[in-house]
Structure 1
Amino acid sequence: MPKISYQTEHQESQRRPATSSATRVLLACGIAAGPLYLLVSYTQALLRPGFDAAHNDLSVLANGDLGWIQTTNLILTGALTILSAIGFRRALNPGRGAIWGPVLVGIYGAGLVGAGIFTADPMNGFPQGTPPGHPTSGSLHGLLHFFTAGVGFTALIAGCCVMARRFYSSGNRRLGAFSLATGVLFLAAFAGIASGSTSAVIVLSFTAAVVLAWTWLAITAVHLRRSHPLSPPVRTS
């Protein structure tokens, strides 16, 4: 039995398509995006006066004199996510979900870029001096921030489900279950934050969902890199 298992695993590795170094670099963008976003965001959350992680969404860090840091963070990590989506497309093709999985991940990245371009309105005491709660009348850029982020989050949820189906069909039930769970949990957390509640439970649940989503993107990118070894260099005579 151990010999048969080894042969099967060896044959499977032989069937894995080789990929280019460019594809692996694109997938690495998906690995780097989440840690970069979380590091920059939570460094600000700890150092910027008036920010309360239990009641403020990370997006409001784009306000104030240092708001450009979070704006840049959103745009940069969104761009990295779009690049990773190109890597997804190249690594997944052909097969189930090879089109819609990468497209939806790319839309999520575009949503992050849009959320960076259109700043969230100051709210709930941040920046310092802002009244508690939501603004009585939202601005156009605040509305566009909510819209672009909402489109991106919806695409992320759908992308998790598409990739779950892909992994289940290929026999990777563990990654399929993780993808599906990420989509479902993020949907629940997004519904809570979209309700407008600033309670600690809702805000912290959404923050946890954001961490989960970045973890999913990184793990999926790592899996695709491992499943597609680097093509051997072409030797010219």
Structure 2
Amino acid sequence: MLDTVSTDRVSTLSALANAGILAAPLFTVAAVVQAATRDGYDITRHPVSMLALGDLGWVQTTSFVVVGLLSVAAAAGTGAAKATRALHAAIGVGLLIAAVFRMDASDGFPLGTPEGRLTTMSGHMIVHNAGASVSFFSMIALCFVLAAGFRRTGQVGWAVSGRFAGVLFALGLAWAMTGGTGGALTLFLGVAIAWNWIAAATLRRRRQA
């Protein structure tokens, strides 16, 4: 009986961890498809979060909710160190906050919105940015935490690529936060590179375990 319970628990945790690995590619595909099809949206000017605005905004909101829950599932299912679990959970919680509190319309999106960047932010946009920041900084930190684990086991390629992904995301985020040209694009690329590397690294660790 105990063996059965133990086996069932391992299977459940494994399923949760595997679900978490899907978060990054699902988010990336959903964002790219919407960026290519939403009228008036320009990924070099508009952050992905702005896709949650307008008549089809529910698509991006659903994406935030799904990938947020998948990231929390990864935290619950992984048998990794406490810091790794905490960072997975923080990524998920930040995304769920971003799903509930939306950005303000600006810079011509959705269609009909006046051109130009915002000069003030609403309360819900401030909370959105706070949630997104939690996710962003957690992703950057997780890249370095996982890279350190690979370095300890002599997997140099994975260690170097993890640090590279973290640095790229940090640079892309800094460029976007300072209002650099094309900052929305550098932010998205940073998220896509770092988060999909985390997914690949997590899958590798699971296969080795």
The amino acid of 2:100's aligned partner reads I
Higher relative contact order (CA 8 A, sep 6+): 1
Aligned counterpart, 2:56: 66
Aligned counterpart, 1:215: 196
Are positions 1:188 and 2:171 aligned together?
Answer: yes
TM superposition shift of 1:87: 2.6
Are positions 1:158 and 2:141 aligned together?
Answer: yes
Aligned counterpart, 1:53: 43
Q: Post-superposition, which runs of at least 4 consecutive aligned residues in structure 1 deviate over 3 A?
A: none
TM superposition shift of 1:34: 1.6
Q: Which runs of 5+ in 2 are unaligned?
A: 1-8
Larger mean CA deviation between 47-56 and 128-137 belongs to 128-137
Q: Which runs of 5+ in 1 are unaligned?
A: 1-18, 93-97, 229-237
User: TM-score, normalised on structure 1?
Assistant: 0.79
* Aligned with residue 71 of structure 2, among 63, 81, 95: 81
Aligned counterpart, 1:113: 96
- 1:30–1:217 Cα contact (<8 Å) kept: no
Are positions 1:203 and 2:193 aligned together?
Answer: no
What whole-Å deviation, never above 9, does each CA across 1:67-123 have from its counterpart, x for those lacking one? 1111111111011011112233x1x2xxxxx11122112101111111111101112
TM superposition shift of 1:192: 1.3
Aligned counterpart, 1:227: 208
Aligned counterpart, 1:10: none
Rg bigger for which structure? 1
What whole-Å deviation, never above 9, does each CA across 1:113-146 have from its counterpart, x for those lacking one? 1111110111221101112232232111111111
How many aligned positions are there? 201
The amino acid of 1:85's aligned partner reads A
TM superposition shift of 1:219: 0.4
Aligned counterpart, 1:22: 12
TM superposition shift of 1:62: 0.5
Aligned counterpart, 2:85: 102
- 1:123–1:134 Cα contact (<8 Å) kept: yes
Identity of aligned residues (%): 35
Aligned CA-pair RMSD: 1.6
Larger mean CA deviation between 19-28 and 48-57 belongs to 19-28
TM superposition shift of 1:20: 2.4
User: Whole-Å Cα distance in 1 between the matches of residues 119 and 171 of structure 2?
Assistant: 26
Distance 1:166 1:209, change over 3 A: same
